[in-house]
Amino acid sequence: MPDPRPVRVAVLISGAGSNMAALIDAGQQDGAPFEVVLVLSNKPDAGGLAVAQAKGVATATVDHRAFGTDRQAHEQALDAALTAHDVEVVALAGYMRLLTPWLVGRWSDRMLNIHPSLLPKYPGLDTHARAIAAGDAEAGCSVHLVTEGVDEGPVLGQSAVPVQADDTPASLSQRVLAAEHALYPRTLADFCRQIRSL
């Protein structure tokens, strides 16, 4: 018998958290296979924290600046918060810190990320400007498992968005972001159904 309980998900953010909000909303639907139980930020002023609180989700901040150059100590504090909330799956959503192999290993096959390109194209930053400069007909977004290489893990889902002749990085990023808000909840739901049926 598959376990019927929603998978307990934490979302890690550094900023506005629009993907985070989409994940919270999806997880609050009846019968959703996951529930966002914690939003964690490395920045005390991340706009997404207030959004999460307004939606009734617990939040915590573990400010990386308090740990200086000791990335792993910062991650150990993050991990303690995840454990305290019985988190089963971690969703990175605009979390702007590179992860050490330690945290990646702790959450191996249980940590997802959304990236604003059709991976393996354009890992890293400035994806929309790079797609436009290359003359690509399509841009888009990918949800992937997190592995040690940046934006390199197995892709779980993708959504393509046509590039228009007059697109700027800003206009393209707006349309890709709208696609992200549909792709991430759908892909996370599929992933959580799968891990419950294992």
Q: What is the DSSP string of 2-49?
A: ---SPEEEEEEESS--HHHHHHHHHHTSTT-SEEEEEEEES-TT-THH
Judged by CB under 6 A, which of 129, 177, 178, 179 binds ligand GRF?
177
DSSP single-letter state for residue 125: S
Q: Does 180 bind ligand GRF (CB under 6 A)?
A: yes
Among candidate residues 108, 106, 96, 94, the one with its CA nearest the CA of residue 184: 94
Which CB atom, from 167 or from 180, has the smaller least distance to ligand GRF? 180
Residue type, 6: P
Judged by CB under 6 A, which of 11, 18, 23, 187 binds ligand GRF?
18
Q: How far is CA 169 from the centre of its chain?
A: 21
| CA 61 – CA 55 distance, rounded (Å) | 17
Helix 18-27, helix 169-196: angle, nearest 10: 30
# residues near ligand GRF by CB under 6 A: 15
**What residues act catalytically?**
115
* Interface stretch with ligand GRF, choices 11-19, 27-35, 72-80, 151-159 (CB under 6 A): 11-19
For ligand GRF, what does the binding mask look like between residues 56 and 85, x meaning CB under 6 A? ------------------------------
* Interface stretch with ligand GRF, choices 14-22, 62-70, 80-88, 130-138 (CB under 6 A): 14-22
Q: Nearest to ligand GRF by Cβ — which residue?
A: 94
The SS3 call for residue 162 is strand
Judged by CB under 6 A, which of 33, 94, 140, 153 binds ligand GRF?
94
Q: How many helices and strands in the chain, by DSSP H and E?
A: 6, 7
For ligand GRF, what does the binding mask look like between residues 96 and 135, x meaning CB under 6 A? ------------------xxx-------------------
Structure tokens at 30: 């009846």
Residue 114 sits at φ, ψ, to 5 deg, of -110, 135
Q: Does 157 bind ligand GRF (CB under 6 A)?
A: no
DSSP single-letter state for residue 117: S
Q: Applying CB under 6 A, which residues contact ligand GRF?
A: 13, 15-20, 93-94, 114-116, 141, 177, 180
